[in-house]
Amino acid sequence: MIAKPLLQKLAKEHGTPLFIIDHAQLRRNLAEFKRWLPHVQPYYAVKANAHPAIVKTLYEAGASFDVASFPEFKLVHENIKGLPDKARQDFIWDKIIYANPIKAIETLRELDPYKPLVTYDNYEEILKVKKYAPHAGMVLRLKVPNTGAMVELSSKFGANPGDAVNLIEATEKAGLTVEGLSFHVGSQTTNFQNYVQALNMAADIFKEARLRGYKKMKQLDIGGGFPAPYDANVKPLRELAKILNSEIKRLFPKDVAVLAEPGRFLVATACTLVASVIGKADRDNKRCYYINDGVYHTYSGIIFDHCKYPVKAFKRGPTQICAVFGPTCDALDTISLTEELPELNLGDLVYSENIGAYSHASSTNFNGFPPAKVVHINQ
């Protein structure tokens, strides 16, 4: 948590809305992940927050990267300027996975010179990759339970486990190499049994594929879903890690390298937003505050990520239930209808913590309002 006096100081210095990235917290989060899952290589999901400074800090701290578009791929690639060509190519294989199962033809053409590692989940994608990115390594993504996840993904992506080995066979017959399997249990997954079921499915497919002679698969990508500690109800990573470490050791041979795609876990708690009250009114017997950031900007996760970010005041005093709205003319721009806040005046500051994931990354310029200014601490 960033100290309140520092938040106020930064807001006074830079103005609001202000999005503050704490790089020390990024490094702590990555270190915690590595501590509890020492045999799992973290590939930061760049889509969670693609700010170049975040990518740079995590790269320097030892992270690899999960990208889902060619611009994200290029963003990460920029961090290896100065390395010789051979080292740059090795970097792509060791440090980047293109984990979007569906890829445009133009994207495949752009990726192919880098000999990337890409995910897929259907027969049509095999043909497309073979034609437009024949140098790619393939990772088959499985459909697995997403029960209880804040953001469900299995309805959009993932091969039916019953079709998996046939897909592997078709991929190999097309002249491509299947490097391993992947899955995603859903974003902000607090139901740890999702991982248990997914790992058992993947283990069965590994065994069947190897029995059929496909023995080149040496990677297991257990995806994202690692929950950020938004509140006290979220179990700590160490509890999930205990389950994962035990199941991976029990189910998979030692020659299978395991990677994961944490995004939210690494970046959510590393960022804080400070905004200003720009209006107030009483409507239907409820105090309403209007602030200079909203759901079209840093609070976009309310809409796109099904996430809540409590709005807090620096000022103390008796509180009442209030509504908080963003600055645009759209009624959708509603941050909360149930915030407990003291009496605030125009120009007073408010803040929201743990707002680093799927927030500033989705900001727009709707209504002409620009995204929050970004400042960095502890770089």
Catalytic residues: 329
> Is the distance from CB of 236 to CB of 229 less than 8 angstroms?
yes
Question: How far from the centroid of its chain's Cα atoms is residue 356's Cα?
Answer: 10
Q: Quick one: three-class SS letters along 51-114?
A: CHHHHHHHHHCCCEEEECCHHHHHHHHHHHCCCCHHHHHHHHHHHEEECCCCCCHHHHHHHHHH
Tell me the chain's radius of gyration from C-alpha atoms: 22
| Helices 237-251 and 193-211: angle between axes, nearest 10 degrees | 20
CA 376 to each of CA 10, 57, 218, 225: distance values in angstroms, whole numbers, following the listed order: 10, 11, 39, 26
210-231 burial, b at 16+ Cβ within 10 Å, e below that, comes to: eeeebeebebbbbbbbbbbebe
Q: Where are the beta strands (DSSP E) in the chain?
A: 18-22, 40-45, 64-67, 96-98, 117-120, 137-142, 149-151, 177-183, 187-189, 219-221, 257-260, 271-283, 286-291, 312-313, 319-325, 334-342, 349-352, 373-377
Looking at residue 165, its amino acid is: V
Q: How many CB atoms lie within 10 A of CB 63?
A: 24
Angle, vertex CA 164, rays to CA 193 and CA 134, nearest 5: 120
> Is the distance from CB of 77 to CB of 100 less than 8 angstroms?
no
**Does 17 sit behind a cis peptide bond, omega within 30 degrees of 0 on the bond before it?**
yes
**One-character DSSP codes across 145-182:** --TTEEE--TTTS-B-GGGHHHHHHHHHHTT-EEEEEE
